[in-house]
Structure 1
Amino acid sequence: MDDDILHLIPDEVPSLPERAGTWAVAVVDDDPAVHEGTRYALAGYMLDGRGLEILSAHSAEEARALLRARRDIAVVLLDVVMETDDAGLVLVDFIRRELRDETARIILRTGQPGQAPERRVIVDYDINDYKAKTELTADKLFTSLTAALRAYQQLKRLDETRRGLEIIIDAAPMLLDHKSMQLLAEGMLTQVASLLNVDCAGILVLRENGGADERFCVLAGSGCYHHYMGREPAWPLDADVHPIVARTFSERRHSFGTRCSTLYLETSSGSEIVALIDADRSLSDTDRALIDLFTSRLSIAFDNVILYEQLQQANVGLEQRVVERTAELIRANRRLGMQRSDLRRANGLKTEILGTIAHDLKNPLAVILGRAEMLNDLTGMSPPPVEQMRAQADHIRSSAKRLTGMIESLMADAMNDALDISLRREPVDLAALAREVCEANRPLADLKGQSLEAALPAETWLCGDTERLREAIDNLVSNAIKYSFPSGAIRIAVGREAGETVCAVSDHGPGLSPEDAGRLFGRFQRLSAKPTAGEGSTGLGLSIVKRIAELHGGRATAESEGPGRGATFAIRFPDAAVELI
């Protein structure tokens, strides 16, 4: 800049109380001389005891990075024409819309006012001042900057006031929440800082009923006192804080000092609260009057919360006395309820026994029938294939034995009425078991033209009941055959997934509807899909699978991409079940 345009600020700047921090001002201009001239013109600038921190950006792109990194910039001295003729105006939109910074004051400085007419810029862009570089002398720069900083200061004060009030208001409907006292305390600290127009740290301490042991409860902390919030409520105060708080409790009045001020509140319920505020400056008479008014209103709010907590404690005691006086009636009702439950269980047991037996016996019977038909076909061959006929007879005999064992197991379960049924735990090769079940059900799949694919490892061991696990796998495989379309593909797999041993049966059947998901593993539940060859269904199969999985410490799952897209049913066993062997 020319020397006839810039003038030094007079040395006689009024002395103000010392305050921590500086005003952050960003100079955005592609002319290095503008940066140097601005720093020169604003050398020694002070406002409210705070100097300037002047940050430089030589392009709009550089300014974007600066503004993203520094969200405390109070004023932006912005050139219009940089990389492009409207780079500065585009940056204004970036600040207001993308960064959503409405408090930073923006002063446009242009050396070519004709390219950005002042009236259009003022109307179309959210800026706070518009100056031509030729008219912006040191005095005018001082005046514009001071006005902008004052406006920024007022906007920040309004924002802090709004936040404090929001916290206090938000605490009102949360009195039933045990954290409502903390929210109210945090709101008080924020509001005090806003009322005093200072960046202050503070701590709020509660002493109930004038206790003399001075084990105070910290309600909230901010700034350098924020670390108290991670401690237990009755944690001792630091050595430099405890005497100040204890003295205020003893004197029962506000105390205003050059560095720290303490505020005293007493509620009508007898609770006492002290707020220690580190404001880094003395408070004026107006500040003290505002504090008196504010704390008088706050004592009512704190009293409401404290009284509500006491009411909750009283209700707990009352409920306990009512429970004690009605204990005998509750015990009598419980006895009656148990008797009624026993009667209902006995009545439902009959239905469940019949349903379970009918379901579980169908699969072995179907195997026997399938093998018998194959045996019948073999007898018509000449000469008769004796070895194949003997193999089919062995399959029939094995299924009949399994049928007998299943009947005995089901009857034992029914007599125990679904109480704790002990499993015969032993090492079980889950892969071999799945292979046996697959081969036993293959004739049923062949009758419907379905392919039965087994993706099984050589062996997979876990600790469990062989017959129970066989029953669960058999239910999944027979269900897949029953509900899959003719000529469909069914896949049985055993492996490890996410720390679990999994046996999964996948089909290309009708899949699962959203309505099926909520009742999938319930007893006597009929899903939207129907057996594809008219087979019968009791609605017990998946509930039996779920129960067997849970008895082994595992779970049953079902997944489907939707109707018509097949489904995968699986039993999953955690590592704990595997490691028991």
Structure 2
Amino acid sequence: MDDDLLHLVPDEDPAVGPRVGAWTIALVDDDPAVHEGTRYALSGYELDGRGLEILSAYSAAEARLLLAERRDVAIVLLDVVMETDDAGLKLVDYIRRELREETTRIILRTGQPGQAPERRVIVDYDINDYKAKTELTADRLFTSLTAALRAYQQLKRLDETRRGLEIIIDAAPMLLDQKSMQRLAEGVLTQVASLLNADCAGILVLREGNEADHSASRFSVLAGSGLYGGYVGRAPDALAPDIRPVVEEAFAARRHSFGEHWSTLYVHTASGSEIVALIDTDRPLSDTDRALITLLTGRLSIAFDNVILYERLQRANVTLEQRVLERTAELIRANRRLALQRSDLRRANNLKTEILGTIAHDLKNPLAVILGRSEMLTDLIGMEPEAGQPAPPPARAAMATQVEHVRASATRLIDMIDSLMADAMNDALDITLRREPVDLAGLAREVCEANRPLAEAKGQCLTTALPAELFVCGDAERLREAVDNLVSNAIKYSHPGGAIAVAVRQETGATVCAVTDEGPGLSPEDAARLFGRFQRLSAKPTGGEGSTGLGLSIVKRIAELHGGRAEAFSDGPGQGATFLVRLPDEAM
């Protein structure tokens, strides 16, 4: 009966996709039976927990398209003779030269060994194994496949390491050249993603402050990528509850940590800062990845130190610039105060000069009258009575003595006023000359005539050698004072009966006023301190005159104010001396 018949329903082939992480193998052969047998022999194969994904191509042309699309093929099991006798060998050349796949292992399988001799093929082509189909049993296929996969795995690691080292070498100058902490942090995350060659997101957290007291430390998120990009610039407290403990644990452990989902990288800088990078990857990191990451982070401390020190230097520069501005403002205010004080001092000095002028005018004139009247009284008292007149009473002698005291006191007071004015003039550093044309010859002539009575009183001969006129540009009063000091000094220190000569002449580039005497001359000691203030020379006035020690220093000062100089020459003690004022032509 039909009811007794059993109808067997074939099992449906489950549509199973490639296993995650499986080894990819390309089987290239024009014989379908070879494909079926190979799949059967390798069913259940597993290495390091990874199975196989077998891709089939039935011609060299089909294999070219397949291999160009799938660049993750670990092994190619390749037949030599397909659409042409050397189709397999040409495919080898395509894989190595055009696709530049150097890590893919190629196992050549042929059913006609004579068509592709093993020795020639091994020498001429970059293949990794050569098997005849008749000798490639299941066991030998397993052995050859395992050996090839091991070699492929090692080559991939070497290639990843090489690529990672190239990335690190290329990244080092860029990272070391960064001047911004945020730019550096972003560059680190970018380089880590490139190094791992995987989709990853992450954040980079900086901790600065006291290493011994972490409560006093400052945290900040420097950079973020992927889903962590929104945390940049925020405090770690704002981090998601599931990642904040991971970051805190990394800071506490102070070392790298690699997990299935998250990996944390720790960097400690010489400046005392700490950085933790949390990396979220779509796959666990391999040993090669971890070694490369460790190598990269070992170089990051220098880059972070550079940025930290640069930012500190920038802050120090800003502070220094601020301090310079503040100090400059203080100096400007101080200069203004000094300018005001200088103006006050100038006004005070002008007032002092004015007061001294008043003293000279208001005191010297009455004193001159007193001195003149005392001399007249002395002359009257000393007159002999005329014939027939009675002799003067004895009191006249006492009166003469008192008059002499008045005259001497008036003379001393005039000398004191002259010294006071001379000293004040010599102290005034901001003396302003009233420059005008001055007849130096005429001025010297007037000074000589004014001093001639003093010379005649000592029996001295005062001669002059003066041109009709010789003009210079200068201050007439100051030049008169200088010439008067030289002439009066010559009279004062020359012996009675001596000769004094005054000359004004034009020399090369200068106008000279010279006073020559036959006085005591100059010793070497006198020459060294001749024009100093309050210097008393070894010679003494020959007529009992007073001396302040300021005369020659005043002459020197007036000469220098006119751009010239004062000079003195002597052949030695007892040989007389010549004193002169030399004024340059520029002063004319």
Give the alignment's TM-score, normalised by structure 2. Answer: 0.44
Give the alignment's TM-score, normalised by structure 1. Answer: 0.44
Structure with greater Cα Rg: 2
